[in-house]
Amino acid sequence: MPLVPMKQLLDKAESGGYAVGAFNCNNMEIVQAIVEAAAAEKAPVIVQASQGAIKYAGIEYIVALTRLAAEQAPVPVALHLDHGTSFAQVMQCIARGFSSVMIDGSKYPLEENIALTKKVLEAARAVGVTVEAELGKIGGTEDDIFVSEKEANYTDPEEARYFVEKTAPDALAIAIGTAHGQYKGEPKLDQERLSLIRSLVKIPIVLHGSSGVPDDAITEAISRGVRKVNIDTNIREAFMGGVKRALAANADEIDPRKALGPAKAAMIEIVREKIRLFGSAGQA
């Protein structure tokens, strides 16, 4: 089926009390693994492209790969821009066929973030594209975006209420203790802050940096209103693990398919596992 707006998936998740997995892609095998895993689990899914993915593969390739995978899939697929940094980039992604975009204005003062988000919303809604916004800085590295521990800060509930009142995005990414990249220790989520924010904003909440967060913490966050869970690092780990195992078994191998095949299989397994954890299996 054609790519669908992410809002369509999140609205259904809101009614059903589960979360939709959003998985970052960088190449053909990753796109295939994400969509094949979703099809196997009969689950809706979000394929995401970050700044690094766009630089590496190019917008046209990402759109073409994901659109083809979606057209051949028996489940709904959304294509989402992860951490869009400017109005111009968001417009470029919309023009190329993304069905959903994130505008990350969290590095700006509150009023500037509001103004930028409103500008994106006005343009995106005119063409039926979903918009995710962010309030609060999520630590760690997401390709070209780096937020130090010192700069990272939790989302203020009252600011969240004010921000959503002024902008009304389709979903809101918040900072409650997660981080991008691999964790050095076990992350501790501020679940009470999440509940308070959710009670004030009444829109789907997005949890970034979810690779490495304990399963029980993810499940609790979903029960408190998270409707989109982002996974990137776990996919990278599965991909490289599959490649390394294949090459360790035969160091003289020259056929890339013999390494990329096992990598794809490993990614399918981790995506299926996450889909089941998020409660979206069987919800397509």
Could you give the residue numbers annotated as active site?
A: 82
Within 8 A by CB and 6+ apart from 187, the residues are 177, 178, 179, 209, 212, 213, 214, 217
**Hey, which bits of 50-186 come out as E strands?**
77-84, 100-103, 130-135, 139-142, 145-147, 171-174, 179-180
Give CA separation, 282 vs 24, 110, 162, 279, in Å. 21, 39, 36, 8
Smallest CA-to-CA distance from 218 within 174, 277, 175 is with: 277
CB-count burial class (<10 Å; 0-12, 13-18, 19+) for 183: middle
Residue 29: phi and psi, rounded to 5, are -60, -35
In the numeric block, the tokens 């930028």 are attached to: 116
Q: Distance (Å, rounded) from C-alpha 102 to C-alpha 46? A: 13
For 165, half-sphere exposure in the C-beta direction (CA atoms, 13 angstrom radius) is: 10
Both tokens of 163, joined, read 């921000």
